Amino acid sequence: EHDEPILVHLQDIKAVVHSKDTPGFTLEFHFEPNEYFTNTVLTKRYEMRYEPTHWTLSRTRGRRLCTINWNKGKNVTVKQIKKKQKHKGRGVTRTVTKQVQADSFFNFFNPPTVPEGSESEMDEETEALLGADFDIGNFIRERIVPKAVLYFTGEALDTEEYEEEDNEE
């Protein structure tokens, strides 16, 4: 909900396929100038590598971050939380403000990081997060971008409802 005022400024989404030298794709989200951030294009880059039997996301080079240049006070990916702390010895209470990550579509541009050289030592949770991140990017590339006009007009949502009904029978 808090992303909607920003997403009304989204003008286009493009999927750019890379060359054979660096297989993969880049998603480009084009925005009109707005009060939230100064970027006009937000990108998410996925690089692939070939395993012995299939293509897979390159874990060390697979995602390139896009820095969103948020205007002051407009970053929807963080929220301020105020907590009261009481000093044990003196009994004095103070208020501490802390920033925590907020749920937002724009967290998509800041995926989980993998420490360098630790590709083989990645824990299951990080592996699952990276896999989900790629699945979302690939879904946008294969399903959303080709039908963008239908999603914009609401027709794609009607089609999905019919597909779900057909699957239930």
Place of tokens 């089609």: 159
Dump pLDDT digits (tens) for 29-66. 999 999 999 999 999 988 876 666 655 555 544 456 78
Residue 28 pLDDT? 95
Q: How many CA atoms lie within 13 A of 28 on its CB side?
A: 10
Cβ contact 147:139 at 8 Å? no
Dump pLDDT digits (tens) for 94-144. 888 888 889 999 999 987 666 655 555 667 887 788 788 888 888 999 989
Residue 159 pLDDT? 57
Show the CA angle centred on residue 126, arms to residues 124 and 129, nearest 5°. 110
4-168 is classed CATH 3.30.1120.90 = yes
**Bridge partners of 46?**
25, 63
Domain extent listing, the chain: 4-168
Residue 62 pLDDT? 47
pLDDT at 161 over 70: no
